[in-house]
A = this chain, B = another copy of it.
Amino acid sequence: MDWFGLLALDELSHGLANLSMFPYFDVAHYVVSIMALREQPGALEVSRVSPLACWFSSMLFCFGGAVLSAIMLAEPAVAPLSNSTSVLLASITWYLVFYCPVDLVYCCAALLPLRLVLSGMKEVTRTWKVLGGVTQAHGKYKDSLLVMIAIGWAKGAGGGLISNFEQLVRGVWKPETNEFLKMSYPTKITLIGAVLFALQQTHYLPVKTHHLMLVYTVFTVVNKARMMLTGSSASPFAVVESAIYKTLFTGHSPYAALAVEVKRACIDRGATNGTTPAGAKEVGGNGAVEGQSGSLKAKEESEKKIN
């Protein structure tokens, strides 16, 4: 790619690729992750009642991706614990964020300028984690794009993907919410990163690894900063998502009216055959979803997001 040469970005991307995550970026990741845990409803309460549950939850926030990808690849789930230095750093961070006298650490780190820098540094670690997952899967399953995407995604966004079970450690159980039903921004950007790096590793995307690292890192950091500064949680992909959703999944078609007829016939036949499709009545004529199963409270929010 000539552009990188022309703009003297080649050296920058090499420099970035050789950057060591340990210790500064890792610590920033721990601080931001554990602060996110502290800001969960009920988390402070748990930290007073059961420091152990709080510590375990924090470790899942910090190392969730490593644990999840280890389970998916049948590697020891306990392996992240074997890196004593990381666990020690994360534990110290946990202690300072939750129990520091005068609550000094949390208050300082929560100041916008510092939080901005820490969040930016955390975004940088995401690139490394996603790439690490993708290359690890590439080593085991040559040319299996899906496995590479899955492992890269799990490694980069593990904390979010296992959030149901992380919450369970703290005595919270919200089955109606999960990252599959309603993807949060970090999970989404990690999935996109995993797709890009998987395509790059299998040479479908003709870019060099360090160039893609630079572009992806800059994008995530800039976007995160923008979201924090403007306080907006609007996804930068909303337009694309909406277009894809409308094209592929709504079933809007010139035959909509016909579809209703066909379906009605279909249901009637099903009923007489004794194999009534339980969910068949749930889709309205023009593809609109009519609330029925009260358990799915995440629906409305999700619809807002997608549309």
Q: How far is the CA of A112 from the CA of B150 in the complex (A)?
A: 38
Question: Given the complex, which residues of B lie within 8 Å of A82, measured CB to CB?
Answer: 141, 144, 146-147
Question: Given the complex, which residues of B lie within 8 Å of A228, measured CB to CB?
Answer: 275
Q: How far is the CA of A104 from the CA of B71 in the complex (A)?
A: 39
Does A176 count as interface, using CB distance less than 8 angstroms? yes
Q: Interface code A132-154, partner B: CB below 8 Å = 1, 0 otherwise?
A: 00000100110011110011000
Question: Given the complex, which residues of B lie within 8 Å of A265, measured CB to CB?
Answer: 107
Indicate how many identical chains form the complex: 3
A253 and B50 contacting across the interface, CB-CB below 8 Å: no
Given contacts A48-B287, A49-B303, A295-B42, contact A231 B275 (CB under 8 A): yes
Does A53 count as interface, using CB distance less than 8 angstroms? yes
Q: How far is the CA of A106 from the CA of B262 in the complex (A)?
A: 11
Q: How far is the CA of A251 from the CA of B105 in the complex (A)?
A: 13
A76 and B78 contacting across the interface, CB-CB below 8 Å: no
Question: Given the complex, which residues of B lie within 8 Å of A296, measured CB to CB?
Answer: 42, 45-46, 49, 171-172
Residue in contact with A295 in the complex, picked from B102, B172, B176, CB distance below 8 Å: B172
Q: How far is the CA of A206 from the CA of B228 in the complex (A)?
A: 53
B48 and A183 contacting across the interface, CB-CB below 8 Å: no
Q: Interface code A20-57, partner B: CB below 8 Å = 1, 0 otherwise?
A: 00000000000000010011111111111111110010
Task: Tell me the A84-102 residues at the B interface (CB within 8 Å).
Answer: 84, 87, 95, 99, 101-102
Does A74 count as interface, using CB distance less than 8 angstroms? yes
Q: Which 9 A-B pairs have the closest CB atoms?
A: A173-B175, A42-B293, A231-B274, A53-B180, A82-B144, A107-B266, A44-B279, A101-B253, A81-B146
- Beyond the given pairs A99-B248, A115-B275, 15 more chain A to chain B contacts, judged by CB atoms under 8 angstroms and listed by A's residue number, are A39-B280, A41-B292, A53-B181, A78-B147, A81-B147, A82-B141, A84-B144, A84-B145, A101-B255, A103-B259, A107-B263, A110-B277, A112-B273, A171-B177, A172-B295
Task: Tell me the A152-198 residues at the B interface (CB within 8 Å).
Answer: 164, 168-173, 175-178, 180-183
Closest residue of B by beta carbon distance from A265: B107
Does A73 count as interface, using CB distance less than 8 angstroms? yes
Q: How far is the CA of A289 from the CA of B44 in the complex (A)?
A: 8
